[in-house]
Structure 1
Amino acid sequence: MKYDVSIIGGGIVGLATALKIQAKNPKLKIVVLEKEAGLAKHQTGNNSGVIHSGLYYKPGSLKARNCLQGYKELVEFCQKEEIPFELTGKVVVATREEQKPLLENLRKRGLENGLEGTRSISLEELREFEPHCHGVAAIHVPQTGIVDYYQVALAYGRKFIQNGGEIKYSHKVLKINRSGGKIVIITSESVVETNLVVNCAGLYSDKIAEMTSGMPSQIKIIPFRGEYYKLTPEKEYLVKNLIYPVPDPNFPFLGVHFTRMKKGGVEAGPNAVLAFKREGYKKSQIDLSELGETLAWPGFQKVAAKYWQTGFGELYRSFSKGAFTKALQELIPEVQESDLMEGGAGVRAQACDKKGGLLDDFAIEENDIAINVLNAPSPAATSSLAIGGTISEMVMKRLS
């Protein structure tokens, strides 16, 4: 079968990209190749369901621009398609005096990014928003919300198919060949000929990028598992909406926090520990080949040397419920170990370069046959329609 555009990956970014390309030119023949038997089985289907505001990201960065635009488009899409969501707002709380300057920097960054209404609040106001939360200072961000991104992704897929698109399930990409000026994708089920490849493969995006270029990637995906607990139903009253700590500015994770879920319940977490398999959602899941690749990557070795203390703390919390509880008690002192029950886990596809940099921004790179999305962790779900719009413009230039 011959297609104009073949999108690899049926997560929320791949599906949003398919929709946006289709909207730009409905005559294009577009296919989404998904290795699983259904959509959104990995990062999309295992995240915390937060509609991010764009608070944390460097002004002018791809994350900042796409999150702000994506937020607006996502809300409009959910309203139009009648997908349940709530704009709940959130509080970010400093629990120690030395965090106050970092919190103030966050407030200023939010305003620079256009988040009107982001403001410092008094401790009395904090207790109004979150009666059980303790801290020494706080800001309130009204733009944050909650949604079930799995349902959003399914809606993207339905619209794409309704408008004439095609999704091939259980089509794991094995090889991409160039033959006589043709681009041929060999999957586990069929052979697909295409004019352009769009790589939205998430945890395997670096592998697909290598297939498209024939060269070793200069970026390696490092999988970090984020593990959650849930508050027991009788203790869900401790959290009204969303409560976040002040993040470590040198580490691309937000720290353990509390999130009321749109599908019900309150999540507590996540931590951020190295996964021993790219799709390793449990501690017991290990792929020695993939783990060896991670450990041998020069960039990861430098990250490990730089952040070993932080990494050890995350690992300790992974195996110690007491330590996890202690981290949560910084925000809500009333939380006890007995209030936490086992939750789920997601794996974040975090790109790392050879020099030891954990890429902080979205990364989209092109070669002669492909557009490769090489780094799209949080807030990619919030930003999905904006990222899809950016890629669709790149596609139009390539195919015009």
Structure 2
Amino acid sequence: MARYRFCVIGAGIVGLATAHRLLSEHPGASVVVIEAEDDVGRHQTGHNSGVIHSGIYYEPGSLKATLCKAGEQATKEFCAEHAIEFDECGKLIVATDAGEVARCDALAERAVINGIECRRVSGAELTEMEPNVTGLAALYLPRTGIVDYRRVCTTLAGLILDSGGELRTGERVVAIEEGAAGVTVGTTSGTVACERLMVCAGLQADRLARMAGLRVDVQIVPFRGEYFRLPPGRSGFVQRLIYPVPDPALPFLGVHLSPTISGDITVGPSAVLGLAREGYPKFSVNLRDVASMATFPGVWRVAAANIALGCREIGNSVFKGRYLTECRRYAPELTKADLLAHPAGIRAQAVGRDGTLLHDFVIERTDRMIHVLNSPSPAATAALPIGRHIAALAA
């Protein structure tokens, strides 16, 4: 049986940031990262918009607000230190009707509370900044940026190995047992013993928590984020990230235009209830995942409370023209031919038994374990501070 001081389950960006921080704070400590896939960053980290968020949306005082603001700066500093390309391109949150203008005003007030650099932009100035974008008004966030988070992940993995840590990929966890002296983790390749266990399992977070004996009253529900990308002929269509004004009742930010560090411009994501936690092709179905959702009352309560929204998202998924309508609210020059296929992502959204969509990061602790039960966007932006937070709890 291999023995370690610290064990981290999950080699997404949060798990890797945690392991890296543990090695930084405890030089010489034995640290192992266990990952079911054959490489790092294969799920949420590798299937997102690549945005370095500023933190304007999040409830003041929440973990999201605090850690995202710290993460925006920490991510840029990490990238600069390790020669990872990023671009502080800025973001425009575009209001297209009077109700959205009022919500923009509320967001601007929240930006002041959260300490986010932000200024109001008129409709005329918006068109000057982005000729292909129209709206009544907008908020401009100059510090929002873009990066390839997969590159951040591979860099973190290399630093972990260089510091004496171990990365075990292709090992699925099948058992977790906590005892007075430590935690035993059974995998498909053997058994690991550790003094402290950190579980950063994303789409499988609730299952591993229950496997470890926690009484968890939430379930991870997968929401497919379906993307398109613009053709090469639309290169430079926008210079900045273009976002709609979000619905404050929902944890999703809506369909947006995102320049990427590779030079593409993506359009999306949608938010369609998924039938497979790790099924990225369209119409993927996993019977185990479907059964777990069908028997969890919170899923039915979410569905009942969001029938109209759910039908709209399904329609956008099935009919490209309806998806295009969402985009043309603020980018009227786009056509159906501009929407080219692009890989989907899957968001791990924690849902309470009462049907509550959990907005903030959720971390549960026992004597020797820490479980990250909800780490949706902006977890990639906030990963380095989240890792620091978890490492402090582990110590």
TM-score normalised by structure 2 residue count? 0.98
**1:120 touches 1:140 (CA, 8 Å); kept in 2?**
yes
Q: Deviations over 1:112-164 (max 9, x none)?
A: 11112x01112222112211101111110111000000000111111111011
1:143 maps to what in 2? 143
1:197 maps to what in 2? 197
The answer on 1:312 being equivalent to 2:311 is yes
Q: Deviations over 1:333-363 (max 9, x none)?
A: 0000011111111000000111111101000
Distance 1:123 1:342 in 2: 31
Classify the secondary structure of the residue corresponding to 1:167: strand
Mapping of 1:373-392 within 5 angstroms?
A: 373-392=372-391
TM-score normalised by structure 1 residue count? 0.96
CA RMSD after TM alignment: 1.1
Write out the 4+ residue segments of structure 1 that deviate beyond 4 Å after TM superposition.
Answer: 178-182
The answer on 1:83 being equivalent to 2:58 is no
Q: Deviations over 1:267-320 (max 9, x none)?
A: 001000011011121223111121121122111111111111111101110000
**1:14 touches 1:388 (CA, 8 Å); kept in 2?**
yes
Deviation at 1:179, TM superposition (A): 6.1
**2:199 touches 2:371 (CA, 8 Å); kept in 1?**
yes
The answer on 1:44 being equivalent to 2:45 is yes
1:133 maps to what in 2? 133
The answer on 1:161 being equivalent to 2:161 is yes
Distance 1:81 1:238 in 2: 30
Classify the secondary structure of the residue corresponding to 1:280: coil
Deviation at 1:256, TM superposition (A): 0.3
| Residues 180/264 of structure 1: CA separation in 2 closer, same or farther (3 Å cut) | same
Classify the secondary structure of the residue corresponding to 1:176: strand
Distance 1:344 1:101 in 2: 34
Mapping of 1:313-352 within 5 angstroms?
A: 313-352=312-351
Name the count of aligned residue pairs: 394
Q: Percent identity?
A: 42
Deviation at 1:22, TM superposition (A): 1.1
1:173 maps to what in 2? 173
Classify the secondary structure of the residue corresponding to 1:174: strand
**1:46 touches 1:345 (CA, 8 Å); kept in 2?**
yes
Mapping of 1:202-221 within 5 angstroms?
A: 202-212=202-212, 214-221=213-220
| Residues 178/13 of structure 1: CA separation in 2 closer, same or farther (3 Å cut) | closer
Residue type at the aligned position of 1:250: A
Distance 1:215 1:114 in 2: 36
Unaligned 5+ segments in structure 2 are none
Q: Deviations over 1:7-57 (max 9, x none)?
A: 000000000000111111113211000011110000001111000000100
Q: Deviations over 1:202-222 (max 9, x none)?
A: 00011111122x244211000
2:59 maps to what in 1? 58
Classify the secondary structure of the residue corresponding to 1:59: coil
Deviation at 1:183, TM superposition (A): 2.1
Unaligned 5+ segments in structure 1 are none
2:104 maps to what in 1? 103
Classify the secondary structure of the residue corresponding to 1:301: helix
**1:225 touches 1:280 (CA, 8 Å); kept in 2?**
no
**1:275 touches 1:283 (CA, 8 Å); kept in 2?**
no
Classify the secondary structure of the residue corresponding to 2:60: coil
Deviation at 1:182, TM superposition (A): 4.5
Classify the secondary structure of the residue corresponding to 1:224: strand
